[in-house]
Amino acid sequence: MSDITKACRDIQELSAQAQIACNLFMAECKKAGLNVLITETYRSQSRQNWLYEQGRTRDGNIVTWTKNSNHTGRMAWDICKNVRGQEYSDAAFFTKCGEVAKKLGITWGGTWSTPDKPHFEINKRWKSPIKEDTEMVEKDMLIVNGKEFTVEMIRKDGYTYIKTQDIGKALELKVSNQGRIPVLGKK
Ligand SMILES: [Zn+2]
């Protein structure tokens, strides 16, 4: 059993839809120059209960107002600013992240009557606002071991798809194929 005192930060522990939403959110924040760190994603009910006890039956500040969190339903994630010492002190940072979320149809906890600024979540009706027919190949940068390469990529649902030829070039691998199957190998 996982340690209830530890937060899970793995995006892949979210629901399939929430993974798309969270990846998209992270990608859009990055584009906006916001240095976001995920601090928690999925939370077991026992961890939620344990957090609820804090400040009530256990010492410490109250950190949650509910035992029914969307974290336990794999639909929510928490963030902070990825700058040491400024994790929660920059109000403008969270407001900007909230604006990114709004554009993507993601709910920001900062809009609630009891604000929870680090918190973001989707509901079951959420759909990616980025239409599939807007897919396009763009030239952008890939960094491998500190070296920059220009590669062709498609960005979709928060994921990046890079041309195999370009990956091969960046990793100094030989690119060939076996029928439809791309083959990468040592030169
Ligand atoms: Zn949260």
pLDDT at 165: 93
pLDDT at 134: 63
What is the 50 CA–ligand 1 centroid distance (Å)? 14
Q: How far apart are CA 66 and CA 155, in angstroms?
A: 36
For 152, the token pair is 């062709």
Distances (CA, A) of 98 to 30, 102, 112: 13, 6, 12
pLDDT at 85: 96
What is the 36 CA–ligand 1 centroid distance (Å)? 15
pLDDT at 144: 93
What is the 79 CA–ligand 1 centroid distance (Å)? 8
Residue ranges in the chain modelled with pLDDT below 70: 1, 131-134
pLDDT at 129: 85
Chain position carrying tokens 């005192």: 5
Whether the pTM exceeds 0.75: the reply is no
Q: How many CA atoms lie within 13 A of 8 on its CB side?
A: 20
pLDDT in tens, 108-160: 999 999 999 999 999 999 988 876 556 788 888 899 999 989 899 988 877 88
| Domains of the chain, first to last | 11-121 (3.30.1380.10), 132-186 (no CATH)
pLDDT at 12: 95
What is the 71 CA–ligand 1 centroid distance (Å)? 6
pLDDT at 128: 85
What is the 90 CA–ligand 1 centroid distance (Å)? 18
**CB burial string 56-75: b at 16+ within 10 A, e below:** eeeeeeeebeeeebbbbbbb
What is the 9 CA–ligand 1 centroid distance (Å)? 12
What is the 73 CA–ligand 1 centroid distance (Å)? 11
What is the 85 CA–ligand 1 centroid distance (Å)? 20
What is the 76 CA–ligand 1 centroid distance (Å)? 6
What is the 187 CA–ligand 1 centroid distance (Å)? 48
pLDDT at 140: 84
The residue among 21, 27, 10 whose CA lies nearest residue 123 is 21
